[in-house]
């Protein structure tokens, strides 16, 4: 038996801190002191005493699993271009209607009590597709979404827009990565959609200013 990260949990090292995102509780947490030392032993495959493991389990960040330990940090390559690298798309009424519906869904789906289950459903849908979406088709849809976004009276927010566009793409059987990122001093969080080549929501400058902490792909 081993240990893995709990569902909806990811972590990264930012500013010398180990920062965890727990979607089920809609919280960012940091392991320090004895808890960080115990976790460092865990991921190095070194033994912990029962008190140390009890403290780690009490964080709610870990769960038992078959096989060895699976507690690797989040790793994803952030691309070097965004939609500004492409020509603007024309406004389309059809896409505006789809975007309005998707944004309404996203606004409801991002509530604290629902975000973890929402993200898990997105992860399952992407895994069922099994292959990444076509880059050109994805970018074309993202450009059309961006072209009509100004018309929809829902305040732009990184998570709302990422969820909305993700939903639109999945309805077309196109899978991309939903990335959550974090930075410290001062603390801030951000999320965006990306392909291996292009940032689809937000800007390149924003995304590259954050350390990825959780990827849904």
**Residues of the chain with pLDDT > 90: what percent?**
73
The enclosing H or E element of 9 equals strand 9-14
More confident call, 95 vs 64: 95
Distance CA 201, CA 216 (A): 15
Distance CA 191, CA 179 (A): 5
| 3-class SS string, 51-111 | HHHHHHHHCCCEEEECCCCECCCCCCCCCCCEHHHCCCCCCCHHHHHHHHHHHHHHHHHCC
Mean pLDDT for the chain? 92
pLDDT in tens, 104-154: 999 999 888 889 999 999 999 999 987 777 999 999 999 999 999 999 999
Average pLDDT over residues 159-178: 96
What pLDDT is attached to residue 53?
85
Looking up tokens 């979404």 gives 145
What pLDDT is attached to residue 108?
93
Does the pLDDT value for residue 209 go beyond 90? yes
In the structure, what pLDDT confidence band is assigned to residue 57 with cuts at 50, 70 and 90? confident
What pLDDT is attached to residue 176?
96
pLDDT in tens, 18-49: 999 999 899 999 999 999 999 999 888 888 88
What pLDDT is attached to residue 51?
87
Taking every pair of C-alpha atoms in the chain, what is the biggest distance, in angstroms?
62
**Residues of the chain with pLDDT > 70: what percent?**
100
More confident call, 60 vs 1: 60
CB 72 within 8 A of CB 62: no
Residue among 9, 5, 121, 119 nearest 71 (CA) = 5
Does the pLDDT value for residue 89 go beyond 90? no
Q: What is the DSSP letter of 212?
A: E
Provide the β-strand partners of residue 65. Answer: 2
């Amino acid at each position: 038996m081993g240990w893995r990260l709990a569902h909806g949990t990811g972590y990264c090292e930012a500013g010398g801190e180990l920062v965890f995102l727990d979607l089920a509780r809609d919280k960012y947490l940091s392991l320090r002191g004895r808890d960080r030392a115990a976790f460092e032993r865990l991921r190095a495959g070194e033994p912990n005493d029962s008190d140390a493991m009890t403290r780690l389990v009490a964080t709610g960040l870990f769960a038992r699993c078959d096989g060895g330990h699976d507690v690797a940090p989040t790793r994803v390559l952030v691309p070097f271009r965004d939609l500004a690298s492409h020509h603007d798309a024309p406004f389309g009424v059809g896409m505006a209607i789809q975007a309005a519906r998707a944004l309404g869904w996203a606004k409801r789906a991002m509530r604290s009590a629902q975000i973890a289950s929402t993200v898990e459903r997105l992860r399952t849908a992407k895994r069922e597709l099994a292959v990444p979406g076509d880059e050109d088709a994805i970018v074309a849809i993202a450009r059309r979404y961006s072209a009509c976004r100004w018309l929809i009276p829902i305040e732009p927010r990184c998570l709302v827009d990422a969820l909305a566009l993700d939903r639109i793409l999945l309805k077309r059987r196109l899978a991309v990565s939903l990335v959550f990122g974090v930075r410290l001093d001062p603390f801030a969080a951000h999320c965006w959609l990306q392909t291996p080549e292009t940032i689809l929501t937000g800007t390149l400058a924003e995304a590259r200013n954050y350390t990825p902490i959780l990827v849904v792909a």
